[in-house]
Amino acid sequence: IYGNQDADGFYIGQTENGHIGYVPSNMVSEVETNDSETESKSTNVSSKKRTPSVSTPTNPKSIKKMQALFEYDADEYSPNVDSHDELSFHAGDIIYVHGS
């Protein structure tokens, strides 16, 4: 996930296979992590990502480890007409948030 939460409560996220979309903030929760884990993710994400439409901080201190609280299928659960722009995930999935 990149950047800050928007006014509607969404983050911009990217899957490991490169799909970029929105992630609802009420579906994830921050979990504790250690510095070496976030440093590793910072390097891995930076080397794998396509250029997102937002800037991505590379400082590991700005990375938060979050866990999906619920299963979220954007096509099924999203109230938005542009649900194809949202990411789907499973309960328990780990998502790294770059930003706040």
In a domain, 1, yes or no: no
* Domain presence at residue 5: no
Is residue 100 pLDDT above 80, yes or no? no
Query: Can you give the residue range of the structural domain that contains 33?
Result: 10-98
Record the tokens describing residue 58, joined without a space. Answer: 């590379």
- In one letter, which amino acid is 24? P
Q: How many CB atoms lie within 10 A of CB 96?
A: 20
Counted domains in the chain: 1
Spatial CB neighbours of 58, under 8 Å, sequence gap ≥ 6: 42, 46
pLDDT in tens, 42-77: 544 444 443 344 444 455 556 778 889 999 999 999
* C-alpha–C-alpha distance, residues 36 and 17, integer Å: 23
